[in-house]
């Protein structure tokens, strides 16, 4: 499912037009990304939790040459599903 599919499903379920539901979908994801960029934890009850995780700088290897390289520290957005979602996935 992509953003358009999600917007279509919301439009069909709630009697909205597709353009309005697409704006809602885009706004929700923009709000999540904005909160994550500030380092906030995003908790969506009955769905899950988005949390920024920091990866430390480390040494790695260039697979083509075998040369040791330095990999910079970075941030990643992790997701932990809520119990209700896990239960839905596992029957």
Instruction: Give me the CATH number covering residue 54.
Output: 4.10.520.10
Domain with 54 in it: 44-91
Identify whether residues 68 and 31 lie together within a single domain. no
Identify whether residues 55 and 90 lie together within a single domain. yes
> CB within 8 A of 5, min separation 6: which ones?
none
What is the sign, positive or negative, of the torsion defined by CA atoms of 50, 51, 57, 58?
negative
pTM for the full predicted model? 0.79
Identify whether residues 16 and 54 lie together within a single domain. no
Identify whether residues 28 and 49 lie together within a single domain. no
Residue 91 has a pLDDT of 86
CB atoms within 10 A of CB 25: 20
Identify whether residues 32 and 49 lie together within a single domain. no
Identify whether residues 48 and 90 lie together within a single domain. yes
Number of structural domains in the chain:
2
Tens digit of pLDDT per residue, the chain (91 long)?
999 999 999 999 999 999 999 999 999 999 999 999 999 999 999 999 999 999 999 999 999 999 999 999 999 999 999 999 999 999 8
């Amino acid at each position: 499912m992509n953003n358009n599919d999600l917007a279509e499903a919301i439009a069909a379920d709630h009697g909205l037009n597709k353009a309005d539901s697409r704006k809602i979908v885009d706004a929700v994801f923009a709000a999540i990304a904005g909160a994550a960029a500030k380092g906030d934890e995003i908790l969506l009850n009955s769905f899950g939790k988005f949390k920024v995780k920091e990866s430390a700088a480390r040494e790695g290897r260039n697979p083509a040459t075998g040369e040791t390289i330095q990999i910079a520290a970075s941030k990643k957005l992790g997701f932990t599903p809520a119990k209700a979602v896990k239960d839905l996935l596992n029957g």
